[in-house]
Chain A
């Protein structure tokens, strides 16, 4: 394999480009360094000038982007959530009509009418913006996530000297580079469709976020430049020394700018859900940061950051599966098997904390607005949460199945396959709890027999303590599957291995008992307040048992023998479809939950500030929403397959020979 690896690097590295690059600057190193310094200067300059671009409104209400926004314009109550949003259209109109007492520091949100929404014959504005936004989000999530773990893989490769990491990292970034262009295209489509169909909304949003929008543009520039240097400079900077470190630094800059881009876009989206920094008329009271730092910004940042990594891993996993299934040589199968494993490891690793990040976001939505919270999970969108639960369960099952099949890579796996059925039983039981709804779909006969809308026994499973308990146990047992897979090819030489394993089993037992106790006792037998709070020690228990057992496993297998001849590429084809299922489930899940998150604003563009007066202000039925998202998922997956095909079109795969 070594020779093929070396050969691959000659393909990455075009000599003529190197000469041109070297001609422009005295050496590639100094050239790259100069570029980085230039970018840092631009970034610094941009950050320093950002406040001067803040939107200001003069006392007569006319807008002005003058640099005269000073600290005096910043009021003490920035960031506080709006406590008194109007409840009815009449109250809203009355509030808006009364101009008394309004601090005129920013333009107020306009009161819109049907005529404010341009019409284009035969085109639905909502569906157009919906699909453009969703496509952009899917691609953006992918291209933001891939550089994160590419950087990590590259660093591991450099530290360990294992060139497989470096080659896989390069292949990952190669897959994402085409997706990057499509991300920009779909972003452009989204922007254009918003300007065409919702000009007043965009006008208001840009009046609040003008400076951050300019910052966004600048960061996009930084991200693009760093990405291209990172990708095209891979070969030329791969000297294993100073240039490689510089390359890693560029990768870091790429990730910082990409993540900052996402955070800025998150601020706009969360402002529409939980507006802050504006008065009750929607006028910006002071600095833009108060609007950015709204109630849901941090929970959304965390949730999307972690979920993007899982998503990026899943798409690369699907790519590896695609390549594995179409491989013609043993070497190629081995490589893409390893790549699929690494990608799924990233995806599943990032998947484990997502339910907790999601729970935090949801709890914050509830705490911001009981109305939004109940609409989200107790109202009509509750049914989509059942679909969500099923899809998340499918993700866990697919992940476990992939690990179970992975035990077949070594003959030593046979020692552990007998445990699979027990893990499966626990997963099934947890899964059934996980998706049992509180509001059941009942026939009239069943309603009559049950004496009401809730099942006397199963109703408790519909509450969050049961869900939290189930998901923690699912996470733990998925982790046990991973441990068994890791053990499959090894035999410890430590004389105390059995005792240490017993301690590990005890640790798992205690953790599960604790999670059950916290869920059952605090969820159902104490004050309601503890019901939400008890989820935190549950998560901590899960984390403790994972970290604890990792340490024990490390100690047990620090000195171990290989058992059964581990071999990459010895995976059944059906296991690869689990990787594809993970990618499709993630995509569909993001679409459905993205719709729900956005739709809980109901008929508000900006919740409690700016009402939607368009013909499509109504909430669509969940069946309709599911259809739109499903069509979007099919289009996205078709584009992704196209990208997979494109990525191997330019040059013949070095592994295939």
Chain B
């Protein structure tokens, strides 16, 4: 098979592979990633194919022939006529208006402040720890009770957005942008210290820092609804339910 054809087939194959999850499982690879992935697949394929003189000559031979060979004048003219039309079609597709909302580039992972004022006192988030966490090792029975109480608080207040399985698919979730966070998996709350989670629950969206704003968050301020202890209990529950451990620096 000719090298140039092989190059196009490799890139096409990668494109099809990246589109399959969306077609068959309804879980698309985001178009921004598809573009990046394809770009690098194409670049590396070109690098491999030009790593030796013979290979590079073979790759570009058809292009050189099309441009230079007098016998291929008809084919050359056809290609030079079709290529601009194709480019125009692509450009037209890109600029064509659609109903898709603009892509939001803003990160949804705010940095916490060092200090937080709540419940009439000041919390140092750099050293703050869950006061109920030590119960886990000192009194497992009481700990289980605290987790259950945390669960009750969760299902009375948080369920509607964060979902019954803590997967961010609650009743209201589909109406929110960005979606409520899932607590499942090892890439959300497992990455965070409990002090961070405490801050996000207590201060909610309105308590997000001025820096890097404006933020998009539907998280309510729970300071007025839940007591300090109740918030800590909910935190125990969400870590326990999802099988995650809070992030620690000290160990």
- Which residues of A are at the interface with B, using a C-beta cutoff of 8 A? 83-88, 91, 367, 369-375, 378-380, 382-383, 390, 393, 397, 400-401, 404-405, 407-408, 414, 417, 420-421, 424, 427-428, 431-432, 435-436, 438-460, 462-463, 523-524, 527-529, 572, 574, 602-603, 608, 619
Contact = CB atoms under 8 A, between A and B. Distances in A.
- The A interface is mostly helix, strand or loop, or mixed, namely helix
Nearest to A414: B52
Nearest to B169: A451
Interface in B25-74: 26-33, 36-37, 40-41, 43-45, 47-48, 50-53, 56
Contacts of A444: 100-101, 177
Contacts of B116: 87
A382 to B, nearest CB: 5
16 contacts: A87-B113, A370-B112, A380-B212, A383-B107, A397-B44, A424-B44, A424-B45, A442-B30, A443-B31, A452-B179, A458-B33, A459-B187, A460-B186, A463-B186, A463-B187, A602-B211
Given A370-B112, A446-B30, 20 more contacts: A84-B114, A370-B126, A371-B113, A372-B111, A404-B51, A405-B51, A421-B48, A428-B40, A428-B44, A431-B44, A440-B32, A442-B30, A443-B100, A444-B100, A457-B27, A458-B29, A528-B244, A528-B246, A529-B247, A572-B56
A449 B27 contact: yes
Looking at B47, B52, B179, B195, which has the most chain A CB atoms within 10 Å of its CB? B47
A594 to B, nearest CB: 19
Looking at A88, A367, A438, A453, which has the most chain B CB atoms within 10 Å of its CB? A453
Nearest to A398: B47
B52 A408 contact: yes
Q: Report the interface size class on chain B.
A: 35 or more
A274 B138 CA distance: 36
B76 interface: no
B242 interface: no
B191 interface: yes
Nearest to A403: B51
Looking at B40, B117, B174, B180, which has the most chain A CB atoms within 10 Å of its CB? B40
B133 to A, nearest CB: 14
A41 B165 CA distance: 72
B151 interface: no
A370 B31 CA distance: 32
A439 B179 CA distance: 13
Contacts of A454: 182, 185, 187-188
B221 interface: no
A221 to B, nearest CB: 41
Contact of A435 (B36, B169, B191): B36
A382 B27 contact: no
A529 B245 CA distance: 9
A432 B40 contact: yes
Nearest to A425: B44
Contacts of A441: 30, 32-33, 103, 105
Given A397-B47, A447-B177, A379 B53 contact: no
B115 interface: yes
Interface of B: 21-22, 26-33, 36-37, 40-41, 43-45, 47-48, 50-53, 56, 100-101, 103, 105-117, 124-127, 168-169, 174, 177-182, 185-188, 190-191, 193, 195-196, 211-212, 244-249, 251
Given A408-B53, A424-B47, A432 B30 contact: no
A25 to B, nearest CB: 56
B21 A457 contact: yes
A424 B44 CA distance: 7
Contacts of A458: 29, 33
Nearest to A451: B169
B115 A86 contact: yes
B48 A424 contact: yes
B14 to A, nearest CB: 9
A211 B98 CA distance: 63
A382 B245 CA distance: 24
A86 B114 contact: yes
B110 A417 contact: no
A350 to B, nearest CB: 22
B99 to A, nearest CB: 9
Nearest to A525: B186
Contacts of A382: 107, 109
Contacts of A460: 185-187
B66 to A, nearest CB: 21
B239 to A, nearest CB: 10
B182 A452 contact: yes
A86 B169 CA distance: 37
A445 B99 CA distance: 10
Contacts of B113: 87-88, 371
B6 to A, nearest CB: 11
B111 A371 contact: yes
A100 B107 CA distance: 41
Given A84-B115, A441-B103, A455 B29 contact: yes
Looking at B26, B107, B249, which has the most chain A CB atoms within 10 Å of its CB? B107
Contacts of A369: 114, 126
Chain A to chain B: the 5 pairs with minimum beta-carbon distance, closest first: A87-B115, A378-B109, A404-B51, A87-B113, A441-B32
Looking at B44, B105, B191, which has the most chain A CB atoms within 10 Å of its CB? B44
A619 B212 contact: yes
Nearest to A423: B48
Contacts of A85: 114-115
A86 B32 CA distance: 39
Contacts of B56: 572, 574
Given A528-B247, A574-B50, A370 B193 contact: yes
Contact of A374 (B32, B111, B117, B244): B111
Contacts of A397: 43-44, 47
Contact of B115 (A91, A400, A438, A446): A91
Given A451-B179, A619-B212, A528 B112 contact: no
B251 to A, nearest CB: 5
Contacts of A603: 211
A454 B31 CA distance: 14
B185 A380 contact: no
A86 B125 CA distance: 11
B100 to A, nearest CB: 5
Contacts of B21: 457
A18 to B, nearest CB: 48
B30 A428 contact: no
A462 B187 contact: yes
A439 B108 contact: yes
B103 to A, nearest CB: 6
B115 A459 contact: no
A451 B29 contact: no
B179 A453 contact: yes
Looking at B51, B53, B124, B249, which has the most chain A CB atoms within 10 Å of its CB? B51
